[in-house]
Amino acid sequence: MGDEPKCRCGYDKHHPMVSAEPKYDAKGWFWLIMGATPDPVRVVFKCRRCDQVIDESDDPEELKRA
Ligand SMILES: [Zn+2]
């Protein structure tokens, strides 16, 4: 443990400067265009300071954060 991936600023995915960006498949994009809010298929954790992608996940628990 203690082996969480970090960006070059030293932030892990739980840091406030790191945002969880939802990613959608084609069906999800269709619903987005229709104005609905689909469930993302995966979530990408990205640092807002250095723009580095720290981690990504398709864990349903993580998707709830997106
Ligand atoms: Zn960073």
Domain with 5 in it: 1-66
| Contact status, residue 22 vs residue 46, Cβ threshold 8 Å | no
C-alpha 56 to ligand 1 mean position (Å)? 15
Per-run averaged pLDDT (10 residues), the chain, 66 residues = 87 95 95 94 96 94 79
C-alpha 33 to ligand 1 mean position (Å)? 31
Q: Check residue 28 and give its pLDDT.
A: 95
Which residues are CB-neighbours of 36 under 8 A, at least 6 positions away? none
Burial of 63 (0-12, 13-18, 19+ CB in 10 A): middle
DSSP 23-42: E--HHHHHHHHTT--PPPSE
Q: Check residue 1 and give its pLDDT.
A: 53
pTM of the model: 0.79
| Structural domains in the chain (count) | 1
